[in-house]
Amino acid sequence: MKHKKFTTTSGIEVKEVYTGPSGMNELPGEFPYTRGIQKDMYRGKPWTMRQYAGFSTAEESNKRYHYLLSQGTMGLSVAFDLPTQIGYDSDHELAEGEVGKVGVAIDSLKDIEILFAGIELKDITTSMTINATAAILLAMYIALAKKQGADLNQLSGTIQNDILKEYAARGTYIYPPAPSMRLITDIFEYCSKEVPKWNTISISGYHIREAGSTAVQELAFTLANGKTYLKAALDKGLDINIFAKRLSFFFNCHNNFFEEIAKFRAARRMWAHITKGLGATDAGAQKLRFHTQTGGSTLTAQQPMNNVVRVTMQALAAVLGGTQSLHTNGYDEALSLPTEAAAKIALRTQQIIAFESGVTDTVDPLAGSYFIEALTDELEAAAQLYIDKIDAMGGSVKAIEQDYIQQEIAASAYQYQNDIESGQKVLVGVNRFTQQEEVAQNVFRVDDSIRRQQIEKLIRLKEERNNNDVNQALQNLAIAARGNDNLMPYILTAVECYATLGEIADTLRNVFGEY
């Protein structure tokens, strides 16, 4: 097979990989994967441009998905509203004021059918940012794939399903840690047999960073959580060489360009050693694959067009760090959900980096930089100190229960805010280079009538479905939850009967309790 020739604009040939004399002869695609998990990285194909979207109703989000796919997005990434994330139907009193606001409202399989109308699930990969109710949303996605006639052996995508960072940084948990971990390992086990190409967890440092952590803390706490999930799966008797291939990570990318690149390189190396230490011998089980999102907390409401530059720098750092997929934030997201125009520029940012900049022509182009290599080593060493401390406490669950991780993040967030207020850390347009602001006109607002629409759909659903089947499925789920059966088949049956998300979550609440 003849390989494509890569050249600069001056016609100078660009090699696939460069090595140097000073010990920097590790190759991409080889353990411990500091330089990337694939031999040719983006020369083979670019990262997946996976724009995060979801708002209002399933009908409205479906229009945005079709638009993004028409503009060149390569995979969908679904944002769910807060009631969906914490297991409440849209008609629940605690859902008032939140329906469709920070993501799409999903109450039942009917909504998922509308959300993906006209989209063949076999032809795309879908990432779902969902945690406490991940098993329910995954079951809905599988149920729709079955209705479409898709081969479940080929169905591909990711659920976030990372509950530990919810306790530590974000807060959308429902059940106590033990039953939450049971649900996660049930998903691991079920998917390894029934949906083998599905990524069953995206271990998230993104929200740890958004809560105010440093880059070192994001790296350390994310990998410590990853170790906890590995050990939980091993305790369930799963084969690390099989299930670890289906784990992925989700990192933030902030403004310090070189630190972020070094963070990604250190993460790959550390994870390779962690998995090997726990018994992984298959190279696929040792490789850290990750999605990146540019830093939401770095966006400013002041001079919002400055965010285009911030997002571009962060996206470039993610690419130079070797990400497998990327979401670029809209410049207006400090004001509202992204407008269609902002979403388009965010996607074009990735496409310009991929197809115009030349940074994809060689693998790990910053390797051998004295600064990058030293920074990679220093980030690894500092993160390892945290991991050793968490291990000494008994792992992430114990560290979270002792409030250790939360306190470390809070202290860093406090210091960061102090540095901004004192002017020690410069934010362009915020504490330096400011100007009189005009009131933003073009912002995206979700109407409060969305809740009424969702409630009307719920009323119709409960009139049309077979409620005897629903009640039986929920009773069977409750019995299984009190025992030791894998819960995924019971959740799938309930979903296929059109039991609502809230009904399923409440059934588990009644057995597991709330945290």
Q: Which residue has the tokens 């499925």?
A: 473
Instruction: Using pLDDT thresholds of 50, 70 and 90, give the confidence band for residue 23.
Output: very low
Strand ranges inside 273-364, DSSP E: 290-294, 325-327
Strand ranges inside 219-295, DSSP E: 247-253, 290-294
* 188 contacts 488 by C-beta, under 8 angstroms: no
Give the three-class secondary structure for 128. strand
Q: What is the pLDDT of residues 216-270, one digit of tens each?
A: 999 999 999 999 999 999 998 999 999 999 899 999 999 999 999 999 999 999 9
Q: What is the pLDDT of residues 388-434, one digit of tens each?
A: 999 999 999 999 999 999 999 999 999 999 999 999 999 999 999 99
What is the rounded CA–CA span in Å between residue 130 and residue 132?
A: 7
Higher pLDDT, 75 or 318: 318
Look at residue 122 and tell me whether its pLDDT is greater than 70.
Answer: yes
In this structure, the number of other CB atoms found within 10 A of the CB of residue 149 comes to: 9
Provide the mean pLDDT of the chain.
Answer: 93
Residue 59, pLDDT score: 92
Q: What is the pLDDT of residues 463-503, one digit of tens each?
A: 999 999 999 999 999 999 999 999 999 999 999 999 999 99
What is the rounded CA–CA span in Å between residue 100 and residue 295?
A: 22
Look at residue 438 and tell me whether its pLDDT is greater than 80.
Answer: no
Look at residue 2 and tell me whether its pLDDT is greater than 80.
Answer: no
- How much is the average pLDDT of 70-84? 88
- Strands 198-199 and 247-253, bridge-based pairing: unpaired
| 179 φ, ψ (degrees, to nearest 5) | -65, -30
496 closest CA partner among 142, 114, 85? 142
Instruction: Using pLDDT thresholds of 50, 70 and 90, give the confidence band for residue 25.
Output: confident
Strand ranges inside 130-221, DSSP E: 157-159, 198-199, 201-204
In this structure, the number of other CB atoms found within 10 A of the CB of residue 215 comes to: 23
pTM: predicted TM-score of the whole model, two decimal places: 0.90
Based on the number of CB atoms within 10 Å of its own CB, is 513 exposed (0-12), middle (13-18) or buried (19 or more)?
exposed
Residue 259, pLDDT score: 96
Instruction: Using pLDDT thresholds of 50, 70 and 90, give the confidence band for residue 280.
Output: very high
Instruction: Using pLDDT thresholds of 50, 70 and 90, give the confidence band for residue 170.
Output: confident
At 165, the amino acid letter reads: K
Give the H or E element holding residue 77: strand 75-79
